[in-house]
Amino acid sequence: MAEHARRRLARMFVEHAPVLRGFFARRGARQEAEDLVQETYLRLLRAHDGQGGEIANPEAYLFTVALNLAREQAARRRWSVLPIEDIEHLSQGLASEESVEDAAEREQRSTHLQALLATLPAHTRAVLVMQYRDGMSYKQIAERLGVSTHMVKKHVVRGLSVCRRALGHGARPW
């Protein structure tokens, strides 16, 4: 009896498959239409097997399942489609956000670094500021201060060494 009912459902499915494809395509699921038709049939078979008996009106059940699948697909499309500009904007926003802890830690490090720079000799402090804040090269700094590039390098090495020791780690202090 169950095999007879399955064959009847298969025949019904073959007859209604083109109508179901059109039904899904009209609802915006052109590319997924064939998959949705197959899913409709699978759900019909599962329902038939799960009930233990025959479905009273298989054709009505088939279209009810198809309608539910079309609604699910529309909901997935509505929530999954996000324009690339929105994705880029979102990722930039996430990248630029910082936690309160990060901001507080950065502020603490900045305050500590300012105090540390104040303890350095004037030339060493000036060289570090010109290099790291102003982005100047050794040559530009040497010309501005009237010293050799070798002397600029010595000031950078000395200043960074003091900062690293004071901050307690080997990384750049900023």
User: Structure pTM?
Assistant: 0.42
Q: How many CB atoms lie within 10 A of CB 40?
A: 26
Q: CATH topology of 2-80 equal to that of 99-167?
A: no
CATH for 2-80 is 1.10.1740
7-47 per-position pLDDT tens digit:
887 888 888 889 988 888 888 777 888 888 888 888 888 88
Here the tokens at position 165 are: 């020791």
Segments making up each domain of the chain, as ranges: 2-80, 99-167
Whole-angstrom distance, CA of residue 41 vs CA of residue 56: 16
Whole-angstrom distance, CA of residue 79 vs CA of residue 71: 12
Average per-residue pLDDT in the chain? 79
The packing angle between helices 100-119 and 149-167, to 10°, is 130
Query: Which amino acid is present at 106?
Result: R
DSSP code of residue 134: S
140-155 per-position pLDDT tens digit:
999 988 999 999 999 9
CATH architecture entry for 99-167: Orthogonal Bundle (1.10)
DSSP string, 2-43: HHHHHHHHHHHHHHHHHHHHHHHHHTT-TTTHHHHHHHHHHH
Judged by DSSP in three states, 167 sits in helix
